[in-house]
Amino acid sequence: MPTLLTLLDRFDPLLFGLIYEEIENRVQQTCRGEFEEPKLVEVLQWLQGPVTAWVCGVYEKNVEGGAEEARKLLKPTFTRFEYHVHKTMVLLRSTELFDIIVDFPASTPALEDIKTCLSKTDLRAHLVNSLRSLMDRRLLHPGADTKDIITQYIATIKCLRILDPPGVLLSRVADPIRRYLRSRDDTIRCIVSRLMEEENALAEEFAASDARPVQDAKDAAENFNDPKWVPDPVDAPPEFRKSKSADIIQLLVSIYDTKDVFIKELQVLLAQRLLAVKDYELDREIKNVEIFKLRFGDAALAGCEVMIKDLQDSKRIDTRVHDRNQGLPLHATIVSRLFWPSFQPAPLKLPGQLGRAQSEYEKSFVHQKPDKKLRWLPQLGTVNLTIELKDRTLQLDVSPLQASLLELFNQEDTWSTEDLAIELRLTDVTAIRNGLYFWNNQGVLKSLPEDQWKLLEEKDQAEEGGAAHVIEDEAAAVQSVEAQQIEQMRIYWQYISGMLKNLGALPITRIHTTLNMLVPTYKGRTTDELVAFLEAMNAEGLVEKTATGNWKIVK
């Protein structure tokens, strides 16, 4: 009579192949696409129940002691079956991990299953490679919106910290996402915008009471004197030390070498929001600045505090101006030029009652502050208009340019685009056309041949059902951080052009190193800033990039 060991040796390949196939089928049927309930326990119960009973039944007749003895002798075999369950689960979930991250936190049970399976297999590297491949294919491409990439990155951080609390998996998966985000021009703006939003999970974490101050990436260092210090895991990548204890905000900021870029972007966004404030209501913006101070430090936010103070001072001055001139229909925001971001230049002469209101306000201001003089930025702000036509009344909030155009039509019914530009002293014809298209879409103006426009006093004069004009996006009133940096880099153009004329085409690293050595004021600039400036010069036709990546003067 053959022994159990003899039978196992004889039938191992057949038995294992059959059971492995059943395990794989069971995992696929039970687990695929199911993320909101734990499935590992269910599969293991199936394995330890009917499958184990069937295998024991096959061999128990050949073992003295029956089923119990067979179960003991078959224990190593059942252990291999359980390992195959864990392995099959990881292989399946590796193909679904991107979707699991998208569904987080509803998919937390699936993550807990993966965590258990990873602890019993050696498939961590496979999981990382699979997820990186999925990220490259489904996320890190030009068609994905930057906001969506940031959202997925944040969810990835949370999910991988469930799978691997020390953060080794996160370090390996996050690197290509971070590099791709850094290559996008709007990443910083998207992050700062989300931090300033209300009812946003990221903003809530940013404002958490136990939040730690944000450090520059270069400042992060290992503290070997910490009594809780432990060595890095054996599979930790070189950059692991920087991120293992960082919160989500720190990880987002550390995409860049310095937090200064976030402060500059905050100043731009804060300026835009303050300029859009009505009735000088600043509670929300003050709260945002205080939260940023906790994270980035008081010194970094000093400029933002000056901007807030300017609005508070503007409210006091405006109250005094209107006490002196109660019928004045204008409220001004008075800013300290040195502490605000640069404004896009847009000369505009306010006509008619708009110009008169501006002059009256300036007279009242000089009476309050005789040692100060206002320099108006007439392109900024909002005008609340009540438009009374023969058969209808409209009430709209519009830009100063749109209000100025309508004020001119209040003086004469018909204007040409060229005459409007002359009257308003504007050279930007596109901005004027956008303003005219706006009023045409409102049914207030009508386009005539030869670039003429006419005021529509009666609605039935309008072209009913006509196609609305598409209004081109206008440049933001406050210059972006990138635009400001390019303007600041122009002072080095003579050095760069002379270098390229004398030495020929040069790589970016050579240009950057030479400027650092020869121009004292250049120190502190980054290669990213230099590349952005050269690309701007390329757009102006002054330099071009060669096939080898070098830069040369256009002759």
455 and 387, same domain (yes or no): yes
Predicted model pTM: 0.74
Q: What is the mean pLDDT of the chain?
A: 82
Last residue of a domain, one of 83, 102, 121: 121
Residue 246 lies in a domain: yes
Output 216 or 530, whichever has higher pLDDT. Answer: 530
Last residue of a domain, one of 96, 121, 146: 121
Summarised one tens digit per residue, pLDDT across range 341-398 is: 877 766 788 898 999 999 999 888 888 888 888 888 888 888 888 888 888 888 988 8
48 and 106, same domain (yes or no): yes
Q: How is 108-125 classified by DSSP, letter by letter?
A: HHHHHHHHHHHHTSS-HH
Residue 155 identity (one-letter amino acid): A
pLDDT grade for 466, boundaries at 50, 70 and 90 = very low
Residue 332 lies in a domain: no
427 and 371, same domain (yes or no): yes
Q: Give dist(CA 321, CA 485) in Å, integer.
A: 37
Q: Give dist(CA 155, CA 137) in Å, integer.
A: 17
411 and 489, same domain (yes or no): no
Question: What's residue 492's pLDDT?
Answer: 86
> Cβ(123)–Cβ(86) under 8 Å?
no
213 and 268, same domain (yes or no): no
> Cβ(489)–Cβ(528) under 8 Å?
no
pLDDT grade for 81, boundaries at 50, 70 and 90 = confident
Residue 267 lies in a domain: yes
Strand partners, 446: 454
Q: What does the block give as tokens for 461?
A: 């004069």
Summarised one tens digit per residue, pLDDT across range 219-272 is: 555 555 555 555 556 566 666 555 555 688 888 888 887 888 888 888 888 888
Residue 342 lies in a domain: no
pLDDT tops 50 at residue 481? yes
Number of domains in the chain: 5
Backbone dihedral region for residue 17 (phi beyond 0: left; psi -120 to 50: alpha; all else: beta): alpha
376 and 487, same domain (yes or no): no
* Residues above pLDDT 90, as percent of the chain: 22
pLDDT tops 50 at residue 452? yes
Question: What's residue 155's pLDDT?
Answer: 93
Residue 476 lies in a domain: no
Q: What's the 3-state SS for 448-487?
A: ECCCEEEECCCHHHCCCCCCCCCCCCCCCCECCHHHHHHH
> Cβ(335)–Cβ(310) under 8 Å?
yes
165 and 212, same domain (yes or no): yes
Looking at 340-427, list the stretches that DSSP marks H as alpha helix, in order from N- to C-terminal side.
352-368, 400-411, 417-424
Last residue of a domain, one of 428, 461, 494: 461
Angle between helices 66-73 and 4-31 (to 10 degrees): 80
Residue 469 lies in a domain: no
Q: Find the CATH number of the domain harbouring 487.
A: 1.10.10.10
Tell me the mean pLDDT in the region 94-120. 93
Question: Which DSSP letter does residue 506 get?
Answer: B
277 and 251, same domain (yes or no): no
Q: Give dist(CA 467, CA 478) in Å, integer.
A: 32
pLDDT tops 70 at residue 4? no
In 3D, which of 192, 188, 198 has the Cα closest to residue 287? Answer: 198
Q: Give dist(CA 419, CA 417) in Å, integer.
A: 6
Summarised one tens digit per residue, pLDDT across range 289-323 is: 988 888 888 888 899 999 999 999 999 999 999 98
Question: What's residue 370's pLDDT?
Answer: 84
Q: Residue 390 CB: number of other CB atoms within 10 A?
A: 9
* Residues above pLDDT 70, as percent of the chain: 81
4 and 102, same domain (yes or no): yes
265 and 318, same domain (yes or no): yes
Could you give the 3-state DSSP secondary structure of residue 377?
coil
Question: What's residue 462's pLDDT?
Answer: 47
Residues 6 or more apart whose Cβ sits within 8 Å of residue 313: 334
Summarised one tens digit per residue, pLDDT across range 486-529 is: 777 888 888 888 888 888 888 898 898 888 888 888 887 888 88
Q: What does the block give as tokens for 416?
A: 């040409």
pLDDT tops 70 at residue 103? yes
pLDDT grade for 542, boundaries at 50, 70 and 90 = confident
286 and 373, same domain (yes or no): no
Residue 338 lies in a domain: no
Q: What does the block give as tokens for 329?
A: 């229909």
Output 79 or 434, whichever has higher pLDDT. Answer: 434
Q: How is 281-350 classified by DSSP, letter by letter?
A: --HHHHHHHHHHHHHH-TGGGHHHHHHHHHHHHHHHHHHHHHHH-TT---------GGGSPPBPP-----
pLDDT grade for 465, boundaries at 50, 70 and 90 = very low
pLDDT tops 90 at residue 476? no
Summarised one tens digit per residue, pLDDT across range 165-214 is: 888 899 889 999 999 998 888 898 899 888 888 777 777 777 775 667 77
385 and 441, same domain (yes or no): yes
Question: What's residue 467's pLDDT?
Answer: 44
pLDDT tops 80 at residue 72? no
Domain that holds residue 404: 352-461
Residue 424 lies in a domain: yes
Q: What does the block give as tokens for 543?
A: 């330099």
